[in-house]
Amino acid sequence: MIAGKMHLDEVDTSAALVGRLLAEQFPQWANLPITPVPSAGTDNALYRLGDDLAVRLPRIHWAVGQAAKEDHWLPRLAPALPLAVPTVLAHGAPGAGYPYPWAVYRWLGGANAAEQPPADMRRAALDLARFLLALQRLDTSGGPAAIDHGLRGAPLAGRDAATRQAIAALDGAIDANAATAVWEEALRAGEWDRPPRWFHGDLLPGNLLVAGGRLSAVIDWNGLGVGDPACDLVIAWALFAGESRAAFRVALGVDDAMWARGRGHALSQALIFIPYYRHTNPLGVAYHRRTLDAVLADYRAEE
């Protein structure tokens, strides 16, 4: 999806542009082969550079700070995490007609879990729960507070208007009554009332890498922050089902209120994504539609 635009004010990228940027700023890598990496991701274009490197270029202004954020926080968090995370090797400056800072990363092998799910979903659920528990145990001092930075770990009430607008926009294409009921149940669950914890903030199948049939890495940390970790429960409906979803919940020790908020996050994120990207990101829309269907089916099973 690198060639197609997903935002009205998105900037163009290409392998040729990456080559010019490297020649200007990192000539030691300028002769390596450059290959576009197809992705349903919405914020960055990714190019593989040789065998061991990747170049990430923001497509849109709101993604500009991701490399700096990952470079600042991930080296501090990574030693305690049981799955690999991105490593920034170099920061590039605007140039060659491209307006944003960009970065060179170490290449992380594997396929994303949206395209190649883990071979054993229950084991994957336990592996991911272990990863999240390790993340949540880490010291949050100085971390970006969700409520101050507009991150998903903030109270769900801040998403109320946008979520209800999305339900109205999709009325006729979804069960709007069930969606409203899920959302209102999530709001009634109340806010997180414990000390803030680290969360990934965009824990979707496309941001999980699978190698050898098992989860191997967690990527795309632009939404990283501290607050309510219920936002990371989106993956329970986006990837898991049945036994694996239940195993994920038990391993994390999630109570009813947090589970309801997590399901509300999954609903809200899918609802808002679908109408925005309906005509520009069919793969992403399909993934989020499956998540939405899973959320509504889960709710109906409880009635």
| pLDDT, tens digit, 9 for 90 and up, residues 39-48 | 756 789 999 9
- Claim to verify: residue 93 and residue 158 sit in the same structural domain: no
Domain-located, residue 9: no
Q: Do 233 and 263 contact (CB within 8 A), yes or no?
A: yes
- Which letter, b or e, does each residue of 258-296 get, where b requires 16 or more Cβ atoms within 10 Å of its Cβ? bbbbbbbbbbbbbbbbbebbeebbebbbebbbbbbebbb
Structural domains counted in the chain: 2
pLDDT more than 70, % of the chain: 97
In a domain, 1, yes or no: no
Q: How does DSSP classify residue 175?
A: -
Sheet holding 88-92, edge to edge: 34-36, 44-49, 53-58, 102-106, 88-92
CB atoms within 10 A of CB 27: 9
In a domain, 3, yes or no: no
* pLDDT exceeds 50 at position 1: no
| C-alpha to C-alpha distance for 31 and 9, rounded to whole angstroms | 31
Task: Let me know whether 221 and 122 are in one domain.
Answer: yes
Judgement on whether residues 127 and 251 belong to the same structural domain of the protein: yes
Q: Work out the average pLDDT over 274-295.
A: 89
What CA–CA distance (Å, rounded) separates 185 from 194?
A: 20
Please report which confidence band the pLDDT of residue 7 belongs to, taking 50, 70 and 90 as the band edges. low
Q: Which residue has the higher pLDDT, 5 or 71?
A: 71
**Secondary structure class of 56 (helix, strand, coil):** strand
Shared-domain flag, residues 174 and 295: yes
* Boundary (domain end) residue, out of 75, 108, 141: 108
Taking residue 118's Cβ as centre, other Cβ atoms within 10 Å add up to 24
Closest to 119 measured CA to CA, from 232, 249, 216: 216
CB 86 within 8 A of CB 106: yes
Domain shared by 82 and 119, yes or no: no
CATH number where 248 lies: 3.90.1200.10
Q: The tokens of 223 are what?
A: 């939404």
Of the candidates 76, 93, 108, which is a domain's last residue? 108
Q: Model's pTM, two decimal places?
A: 0.94
How is residue 166 written in tokens? 């999305």
Q: Both 175 and 236 in a single domain?
A: yes
pLDDT, one tens digit per residue, over 95-144 is 999 999 999 999 999 999 999 999 999 999 999 999 999 999 999 999 99
Please check whether residue 67 is in contact with residue 106, taking contact to mean a CB–CB distance below 8 angstroms: no
Of 108, 127, 148, the position where a domain reaches its end is 108
What is the rounded distance in angstroms from the CA atom of residue 46 to the CA atom of residue 241? Answer: 30
DSSP code for 15: H
Same domain, 30 and 89: yes
Mean pLDDT value of segment 78-87: 98
Are 104 and 119 part of one and the same domain?
no
Burial classification of residue 70, based on how many CB atoms lie within 10 Å of its CB (0-12 exposed, 13-18 middle, 19 or more buried): buried
Identify the bridge partners of residue 84 per DSSP, sorted by sequence position.
Answer: 217
For the chain, give percent helix, strand, coil, nearest 5.
Answer: 50, 15, 35
In which domain, by residue range, is 117 found? 112-302
Q: Give the pLDDT score at 8.
A: 72
Instruction: Please state the rounded mean pLDDT for residues 268-297.
Output: 91
**Mean pLDDT (whole number) for 224-231:** 98
CB 39 within 8 A of CB 31: no
Mean pLDDT of 223-234: 98
Same domain, 96 and 148: no
